[in-house]
């Protein structure tokens, strides 16, 4: 009989990583016997996030290499309201706010930048993107769901991906009445992940990325190209 595994709080990136390939997710996140080393693009993304965080939190001037992003950061820095910078939000399985490290944390998310206007019952939540522009609004939906739980006064949450290289923003607005739609989008997906933990079953999902991009070695997955 297989021993059930304890599922940690889920995040959007963890969920999508599981959905891409449960076996890859298992070896990187659960067994931790494979390491997903960040490539140059991911390292650059982390560096840029830190520059933008320092700019918004402390007013630190952006370095020359990213000074062109000032026009995207300044409106947030200058907006009236409470600034949110690398802001962590966690909820329990009843969708009540809880501490990030709390035992009952069920879902967690970090908003890169935002402005909370409590008097207007409104928030703007943004995610910096250093990669190529693509459509994936589910992450924005999750931000809104977490924010509605954390700030009961919010009626409207405007979310957006800020595509730094392309100087574009993809926005999506959510209303408090969208809460059940938001969570119903995620629940069946999270339940699949919960079942995988319960049964300790993380099957492979081979794709065109296996051979050249998977860090799981071949002796653990037959589809891998990594020795
Ligand atoms: S090689 Fe492919 S199928 Fe195997 S773990 Fe990696 S991504 Fe999944």
pLDDT band of residue 71 (cuts 50, 70, 90) is very high
Alpha-carbon span 32 to 8, nearest angstrom: 14
pLDDT in tens, 98-129: 999 999 999 999 999 999 999 999 999 999 99
Residue 226 Cα: closest atom of ligand 1? 1
Q: Select from 214, 218, 225, 227 the residue to mutate for testing ligand 1; criterion: most ligand atoms less than 8 Å from CB.
A: 214
Give residue-wise pLDDT tens across range 11-41. Answer: 999 999 999 999 999 999 999 999 999 999 9
User: Which pLDDT value is given to residue 101?
Assistant: 97
pLDDT of residue 136: 80
Where along the chain do its domains lie?
A: 12-213
Q: Does domain 12-213 bear CATH number 1.10.3470? A: no
Of all residues in the chain, what percent carry a pLDDT higher than 70? 99
| Ligand 1 proximal residues by C-beta, below 6 Å | 21, 23-24, 204-206, 210, 214, 216, 221, 223-224
Closest ligand 1 atom to residue 24 Cα is: 5
Residue 1 clears pLDDT 60, i.e. is over it: no
- 93-101: list long-range contacts, CB under 8 Å, 24+ apart: 95/145, 95/149, 95/183, 96/149, 97/149, 97/150
Please report the pLDDT score of residue 2 as a whole number.
63
Q: Look up the pTM and report it.
A: 0.94
**Which residue's alpha carbon is at the smallest distance from atom 7 of ligand 1?**
210
């Amino acid at each position: 009989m297989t021993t059930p595994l304890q599922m940690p709080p889920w995040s959007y990136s963890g969920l999508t990583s599981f959905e891409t390939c449960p076996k890859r997710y298992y070896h990187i996140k659960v067994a931790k016997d494979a390491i997903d080393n960040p490539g140059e693009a991911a390292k650059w993304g982390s560096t840029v996030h830190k520059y933008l965080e320092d700019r918004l939190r402390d007013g630190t001037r952006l370095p020359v290499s990213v000074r062109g992003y000032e026009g995207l950061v300044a409106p947030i820095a200058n907006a009236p309201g409470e600034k949110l910078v690398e802001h962590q939000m966690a909820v329990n399985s009843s969708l009540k706010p809880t501490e990030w490290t709390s035992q009952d944390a069920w879902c967690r998310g970090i908003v890169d930048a935002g402005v909370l206007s409590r008097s207007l019952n409104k928030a703007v939540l943004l995610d910096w993107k250093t990669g190529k522009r693509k459509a994936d609004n589910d992450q924005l939906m999750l931000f809104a769901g977490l924010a509605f739980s954390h700030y009961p006064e919010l009626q409207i949450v405007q979310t957006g991906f800020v595509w730094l290289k392309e100087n574009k923003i993809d926005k999506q607005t959510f209303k408090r009445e969208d809460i059940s739609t938001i969570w119903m989008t995620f629940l069946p997906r999270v339940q699949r992940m919960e079942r995988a933990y319960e049964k300790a079953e993380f099957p492979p999902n081979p794709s065109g990325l296996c051979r050249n991009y998977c860090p799981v070695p071949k002796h653990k997955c037959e589809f891998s190209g990594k020795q």
